[in-house]
């Protein structure tokens, strides 16, 4: 059976609603940029004071006509709302902070959620003028009565899975209102599992690899993160490959911390793989993986949170590069160094290949004719190798593409 990859879909929806109840008066413009994160820690905002050390949004507030001869009063409101079935919380406000007196817009103002707290009583507009700011916490969640929420927060420190609404509203004295919302389906990453090649250190004989450029595969839940600079979607992954030497290492943990074959630059620690990827082929410019030797590998996942970038490490797997120059099997006349035999073993596995081509097997003493067919059409070795390396492209019901490993349904030997 192939490995089943579970994919959680996470949607990021941004709404902009403008309501202007007056046909006359000065228009205001409110440009908001939301800062993306994967994990939101509860300490990103103090629900008693509104203080925050991480930007959730960055905005500019200005008059549309740039005529500031008649200053206009504007009220500001910032709110975080939680909707989580797991916690039994249905659209409850975590915190709402708002002005109790309108600010006077005499020039454009740059502001963020970090300005909206009880300790801040003045802002500066782009002309350097002081703008008085009077705020109050008008609503917040009583965490002492939210047992489930507090239990999760105490264990992890971050906001539990659920739908979170970050809402900021500006209302002018003329009645114009601009509402901007960032609605996030937060699913905190927890899965990072290696698939192939390899397994336990004690099982390297059954985890041999028939190429010095193996394809590494792992499973990980997706990240609800879009890089604001590159527009890439997902978390960044890194890989580390080291040789296991029994005379020097007593465990895979010791081996993985020793000199690395990938990356060759020992100051890096891990080599970058890419964003949102779960497969990676060993590169030709890395250190050689030599036949007969055992190697260990590990994946690192970087997660952008409101407390900075966090690193998640996978377990460590060990594998051995097949040495075709040594023969441990007597009476097998098949040329084990033949590219076709190597390719065939990669597909059906070593135990089954030994039973077929070993002494007493159906294919014992046979010579491959060199023809490979797929759906009755002859194909090249390179095409088969690419399917082994990357897997077979499939789509789920929602159209998301992924590669699954090849599966052997049956094997038939024909003279």
Pair 403, 394: CB distance under 8 Å: yes
Residue 113 phi/psi, 5° resolution?
-60, -25
| Strand, coil or helix: 138 | strand
State the Cα–Cα distance between residues 178 and 168, nearest whole angstrom. 8
- 64-86 confidence digits (pLDDT tens): 988 888 889 999 999 989 888 76
CATH of 189-323 given 2.60.40.10, 3.30.390.30, 3.30.200.20, 3.40.50.300: 2.60.40.10
The residue with tokens 């993160």 is 225
pTM of the model: 0.53
Taking each continuous run of H as one helix and of E as one strand, the counts in the chain are: 5, 26
What are the residue boundaries of the structural domains of the chain, listed by start? Answer: 12-186, 189-323, 324-415
Beta strand 279-281 pairing with 215-220: antiparallel
Q: What is the mean pLDDT of each run of 10 residues along the chain (415 residues)?
A: 35 44 67 79 73 87 87 93 80 91 94 91 92 92 62 61 89 93 78 89 81 90 70 83 91 93 93 89 90 94 78 92 65 55 73 74 69 76 69 75 71 64
Is the bond preceding residue 386 a cis peptide, omega within 30 degrees? no
What percent of the chain is helix, strand and coil (3-state, nearest 5)?
15, 40, 45
pLDDT score, position 20: 42
State the Cα–Cα distance between residues 249 and 247, nearest whole angstrom. 6
Q: For helices 339-348 and 381-390, what crossing angle results, to 10°?
A: 30
């Amino acid at each position: 059976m192939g490995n089943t990859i579970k994919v959680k879909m996470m949607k990021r929806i941004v709404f902009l609603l403008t309501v202007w109840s007056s046909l006359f008066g000065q228009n205001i413009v409110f440009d908001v940029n939301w800062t993306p994160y994967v994990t939101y820690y509860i300490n990103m905002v103090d629900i008693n004071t509104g203080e925050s050390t991480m930007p959730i949004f960055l905005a500019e507030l200005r008059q549309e006509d740039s005529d500031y001869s008649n200053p206009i009063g504007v009220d500001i409101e910032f709110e975080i709302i939680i909707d989580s079935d797991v916690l039994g919380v249905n659209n409850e406000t975590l915190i709402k902070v708002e002005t109790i007196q309108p600010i006077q817009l005499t020039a454009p103002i740059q502001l963020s959620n970090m300005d909206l707290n009880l300790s801040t009583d003045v802002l500066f507009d782009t002309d350097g003028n002081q703008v008085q700011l009077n705020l109050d916490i008008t609503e917040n969640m009583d965490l002492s009565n939210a047992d489930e929420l507090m239990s999760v927060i105490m264990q992890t420190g971050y906001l539990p899975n659920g739908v979170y609404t970050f809402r900021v509203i500006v209302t002018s004295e003329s009645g114009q209102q601009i509402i901007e919302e960032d609605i996030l389906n937060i699913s905190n990453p927890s899965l990072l599992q290696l698939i192939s090649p390899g397994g336990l250190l004690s099982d390297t004989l059954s985890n041999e690899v028939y190429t010095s450029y193996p394809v590494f595969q792992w499973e990980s839940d997706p990240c609800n993160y879009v890089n604001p600079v590159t527009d890439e979607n997902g978390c960044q992954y890194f890989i580390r490959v080291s040789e296991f030497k029994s005379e020097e290492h007593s465990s895979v943990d010791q081996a993985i911390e020793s000199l690395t074959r990938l990356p060759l630059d020992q100051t890096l620690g891990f080599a970058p793989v890419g964003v949102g990827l779960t497969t990676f082929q060993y590169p030709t410019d890395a250190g050689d993986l030599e036949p007969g030797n055992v190697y260990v590998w590990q994946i690192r996942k970087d997660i952008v949170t409101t407390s900075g970038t966090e690193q998640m490490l996978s377990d460590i797997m060990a594998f051995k590069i097949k040495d075709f120059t040594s023969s441990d099997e007597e009476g097998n006349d098949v040329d084990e160094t033949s590219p076709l035999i190597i390719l065939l073993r990669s597909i059906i596995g070593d135990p089954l290949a030994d039973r077929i081509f070993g002494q007493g097997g159906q294919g014992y003493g046979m010579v491959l004719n060199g023809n490979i067919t797929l759906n009755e059409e002859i194909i090249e070795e390179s095409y088969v190798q690419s399917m082994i390396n990357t897997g077979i492209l499939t789509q789920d019901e929602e159209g998301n593409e992924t590669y699954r490993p090849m599966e052997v349904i049956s094997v038939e030997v024909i003279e």
